[in-house]
Amino acid sequence: MHIPVLQKEVLEYLDPKPNENFIDATIGEGGHSLAILEKTAPNGRILGIDWNEEVIKNTKYKNRIIPACDNFVNLKEITVKQKFKNISGILFDLGMSSWHLESSGRGFSFLKKEPLDMRYNPQNPISAEKILNYWSREEIEKILREFGEERFSKEISEKIIETRKIEPIKNTFQLVEIVKRAMSSRYLYQKINPATRTFQALRIAVNNELNNLEESLPQALEVLERDGRMAIISFHSLEDRIVKNFFKNQAQEGKIKILTKKPVVPAGNEVKINPRSRSAKLRAAVKICQIL
């Protein structure tokens, strides 16, 4: 079961009121949206965006949610297409849903033997398998270094090239073994699995996550009503840096007021109940002037 991260804090910063409209740019299984709907009854609506059609189908929709199977990089276009206006708040939850890890069968988790797909949308022409088997060593090293902040990016990329000369790299367990062989033994017994950063980096590259986030934030601010609020939950430093810099720049231009001086993180009891929340960071802002 997917547990919404920082749900209490999301409601606090978005401050939904009766009959207001919101966008959930990453609706997933709808946990945050259902909580917002309770606050916006009787007539408030949510435009729920998700790139994955199967996730959209699994969401517990109510009649006040408008589902849109699309990428949030097209956020403004989606709002126009759906004629969705008077937007009081927008939420981005950039974490993967439990469905992706446990049920998708697409290789997001290193704990299961699955094909190395990692695409949120099957129509995406790039998969993790294609990157690992056809991209150059330099390109793979760059992905691991920049998107995974992996200190063994050179060694892992070399092992990938070495392995694929013998046999294609097809499944998650193959990749985990490659990572382990490339690392110094003293790094194999850290708190996090040694393959964590490699899997993260490939997922980001496959789905173009960072560029999509950078392109979508200005659109989100544009479609918000004055006094509308944005709340963004990120799960690693690269995402958080993009959000932090965007908010800082927009605040300097007098377009927003930042509501979170520092990122809000889960309390200890939430991390205990939901360990996946441990790296979550929430930043929020309110729009204070119309953008021409």
Same domain assignment for residues 113 and 163: yes
Same domain assignment for residues 213 and 95: yes
Same domain assignment for residues 25 and 163: no
125 occurs within a structural domain: yes
CB neighbour list of residue 83: distance below 8 Å, 6 or more residues apart = none
Same domain assignment for residues 52 and 196: no
Look at residues 87, 44, 51 and name the one whose alpha carbon lies nearest to residue 70: 51
Choose the weakest-confidence range: 58-62, 119-123, 202-206. 58-62
Same domain assignment for residues 195 and 213: no
Instruction: Find out whether 233 and 94 touch, Cβ atoms under 8 Å.
Output: yes
Same domain assignment for residues 215 and 93: yes
Strands, DSSP E only, in the chain?
Answer: 21-24, 46-50, 65-69, 87-93, 224-234, 256-258, 281-287
Same domain assignment for residues 110 and 200: yes
Residue 106 token pair: 């697409």
**Backbone φ, ψ for residue 18 (5° rounding):** -50, 135
Q: Residue 29 has what pLDDT?
A: 75
16 occurs within a structural domain: yes
Q: Residue 273 has what pLDDT?
A: 86
Same domain assignment for residues 49 and 16: yes
Q: What is the pLDDT of residues 191-213, one digit of tens each?
A: 678 899 999 999 999 999 999 99
157 occurs within a structural domain: yes
Choose the weakest-confidence range: 37-41, 173-177, 275-279. 275-279
Residue 185 has pLDDT above 80, yes or no: no
The residues facing 283 across adjacent strands are 232
- Assessment of whether the complete model's pTM goes beyond 0.95: no
Domain range for residue 84?
7-99+209-287
Residue 48 token pair: 């729920």
Same domain assignment for residues 54 and 118: no
Residue 250 has pLDDT above 70, yes or no: yes
Residue 137 has pLDDT above 90, yes or no: yes
239 occurs within a structural domain: yes
Same domain assignment for residues 175 and 93: no
Q: What is the pLDDT of residues 264-289, one digit of tens each?
A: 999 988 888 888 788 899 999 999 97
Tell me what the pLDDT averaged over the chain comes to: 91
Give the H or E element holding residue 203. Answer: helix 196-207
CB neighbour list of residue 65: distance below 8 Å, 6 or more residues apart = 27, 30, 33, 37, 45, 46, 47, 48, 59
CB neighbour list of residue 233: distance below 8 Å, 6 or more residues apart = 5, 6, 10, 91, 92, 93, 94, 95, 280, 281, 282
Residue 152 has pLDDT above 80, yes or no: yes
CATH of the domain at 268: 3.40.50.150
The owner of tokens 């300097």 is 252
292 occurs within a structural domain: no
Residue 1 has pLDDT above 60, yes or no: no
